[in-house]
A and B are shown apart, each in its own frame.
Chain A
Amino acid sequence: MPLIQVEQLKNVLGGQSVHSDVNFVINKGETVAIVGGSGSGKTTILRCLLMLLRPTAGKIRMFDIDILHCSEADISAVRRRCGVTFQQGALFSGLTVLQNVMFPLNEMTDLSHALQKEIALLKIVLAGLPSDAANKYPAELSGGMLKRAALARAIALDPEVLFLDEPTSGLDPKSASGFDQLILYLRQTLGLTMVIVTHDVDTLWQVTDRVLFLGEGQVLAALPMRELVKHPHPEIQEFFKGPRGRLKEYE
């Protein structure tokens, strides 16, 4: 049974059709990327999966629960098994990084305060931030540090599925490849299932098992990177052709 199953998803936002017929499955332990041009509705798919947006039509099953027709309690249970980083970070601006990461630990577990703090620090260090950053407020961090802090908060409770919305956009190449290493490590040690929205071709090649290519309101292809770059669809060809596609380098 796949972990996430989306069927005939349809979305109309602001009078404009974003998705006409989206179908895909994601299996346990897989790392799947969602790619597509800007405005092709990648973030919208994540919002539907996280139950932040009710799709116009369609079926979504997660952890074997029909999340569009289930009780409030089921929804909380499903959400608790997911971790998310948002495109703009979405850290709580009134809390320090440490407090941000401790927040879910505090709400969801009965660990002692000292232990929560240690575990939060561990997550901060795992996300690649120095310990000193812990007492800073989000406004005092650089863009790359914000992304890492958001990741630290997303993995605070060791979720089973991690949704990352453009985690490496705006990072320098070194930090971005650090982020890729981190993703690989999380997957190895925690057996995480990951859904990553990204434009970063290096990330696509290095960490993903499959790539869902979104275009024309549907999933044009759901293939491993090696096969996807050979897909004949003109939109896909255009996406990966040119120097930014790094075709030669990886072949």
Chain B
Amino acid sequence: MARSANITWEREQSCLRLMGDWLCTTLGKLPATLDKLSFPRHTSFMVDASSIEKLDTAGAWMMHRYFSQLKAFNYSFEVQGLNPTHQLLLDRIEAQSSHIRVPEHPQSPPLLPFIGREFVQKVLHFLEFHSFIGLALATFKQWFKPKNIQWNSILKMIEETGCKALPIIGLLSFLIGIVLAYQMGLQLRDYSANAYIVDFSGLAILREFGPLITAIIVAGRTGSAFTAQIGIMKINEEIDALRTFGLSPVERLVLPRIFGLLVAIPLLTVWADAFGIMGCMFMANHMLDISYMDFLKRFQEVVPLKTYTLGLIKTPVFAVLIAQVGCFQGFQVAYSADSVGSQTTRSVVQSIFLIIITDAFFSVLYSWQGL
């Protein structure tokens, strides 16, 4: 078992005795002991290091530091009894000590310049995002020749982002349908307007909830994956490797993701619509005594096709947003693991933010057009 490092002043012999193990794990209490130690000034004395059993670099550094302090105060002393390997270590550290400079801490800037810099960075970031969208569009030109299209990548993306998301999106939409129908049913029952559940749920699910829920789940599930994938590829210099083959990373990585989502999100939305309506049907049957057949019959009568198409029109826009934000944030990753985390968070937050803004924009647009 290691003993802690210690030091005592022995007045009779005018001797400073170093004891115990001087190891990084046993040095903790030594600085306090050193501070308390007092002995007469301007005496010459002996330092007896023969009781030191173990010494590592941290211990030797501590010793070197203390000895130089003593020297700075003009004490004269002689070190004795240090074992030869320990002496070698101490000498070596004394030789190195001149190279050690405690580097200055980079200071955080004062408030005003900080705000200024953040603002400029946000503006630049915004511009960069737009130039990234532009780059994707410009690169798309290369796909006008069908032989350039990366069919395999696109199909793989559709599988990853579409097929594998079917269970979670189906389940969540079904549950949202149940919740929605329950809340509306409570009100409708009071007015004995049970049948109107069909009108309301058709409108709410097809126009708003289906597209929105799908987009938000995909942003969380797939947008974040895009950012992490591209970010790690950037850290591993895979993106630079692509460039050196004369290939465009945007064409190879971004376009397949955009087109994959362009196919997957509208299809997922149809799926979500179906399950959302099923949820409503289930609740209507349970709570308002509307049978499944009655529900479907009324559904055909009162919910126009327009409701369904107006909901679906929004989804390609969501798809492009999610893919662009996810990929853009991936390319913004700097060379550290923390950066992958923070860009992924940013990617999800920004895409959900933009999805909701776009949805609101569509609502305003529709109301202008009187749809």
Contact = CB atoms under 8 A, between A and B. Distances in A.
Contacts of B292: none
Nearest to A80: B25
A105 B27 CA distance: 12
Interface string B318-345: 0000000000000000111111000000
Interface stretch (B55-63, B73-81, B164-172, B357-365): B55-63
Contacts of A48: none
A189 B88 contact: yes
B337 A119 contact: no
A193 to B, nearest CB: 14
Interface string B149-170: 0000000000000000000000
Contact of A139 (B27, B31, B103, B335): B335
Interface in B1-40: 23-25, 27-28, 31
Interface in A72-126: 92-94, 98, 105, 108-112, 115, 117-119, 121-123, 125-126
Nearest to B32: A112
A21 interface: no
Contacts, number: 89
Given A110-B28, A126-B96, A139-B336, A118 B103 contact: no
Q: What DSSP secondary structure best describes chain A's contact surface?
A: helix
Interface in B90-118: 92-93, 96-97, 99-103, 106
Interface residues of A, number: 35
Interface residues of B, number: 32
B24 A131 contact: no
B288 to A, nearest CB: 56
A130 B85 CA distance: 26
Nearest to B100: A121
Given A108-B25, A158-B56, A189-B89, A122 B337 contact: no
Closest 5 CB pairs of A and B: A139-B335, A110-B28, A158-B56, A93-B336, A94-B338
Interface of B: 23-25, 27-28, 31, 56-58, 61-62, 65, 85, 88-89, 92-93, 96-97, 99-103, 106, 235, 334-339
